Amino acid sequence: MERPESELIRQSWRAVNSSPLEHGTVLFARLFSLEPSLLPLFQYNGRQFSSPEDCLSSPEFLDHIRKVREAEPWGLRSAKHCLCNIVLQMTRYLLPLQTVGESLLYMLEKCLGPNFTPATRTAWSQLYGAVVKAMSRGWDGE
């Protein structure tokens, strides 16, 4: 990834991280609206949520959002951990990677507003595409 694209990703991630719970909730709300079958993935202490709203307001899920949002997307280890978990779960539930990517772009667009430029969209799309491609080949050594 070229320097301007990586800087766009860093800047936009810093802006989104200013309110991690709000922005994380936007991402997961979109994910649940596109793929309601994901709701069973998020259980805490054996509790199944009856609706996305119930899940999105639970303290355990908010803690999950906080942890996910603390990961730096440009750090390989963080991206690898978060996205590997997503892929394992998607394999189980047959969720297309495009849905996760679309939810990420949706969150960025809603949260950044006019600062989510076409160049920023392209940079994030390229990053997400590169991570998905690497994951589809498998992670060496782990």
Which regions in the chain score pLDDT beneath 50?
74-77, 79-81, 92-94, 139-142
**76: in domain:** yes
CATH of the domain at 34: 1.10.490.10
**140: in domain:** no
**What pLDDT, on the 0 to 100 scale, is given for residue 120?**
95
**What pLDDT, on the 0 to 100 scale, is given for residue 110?**
95
Hey, CA dihedral for 133, 136, 141, 142, is it positive or negative? positive
**81: in domain:** yes
**72: in domain:** yes
**142: in domain:** no
Those residues whose C-beta lies under 8 Å from the C-beta of residue 76, and which sit 6 or more positions away, are none
Are the CB atoms for 121 and 9 separated by under 8 Å?
Answer: no
Q: How many domains does the chain have?
A: 1
CA dihedral 12, 15, 20, 21 (to 10 degrees): -110
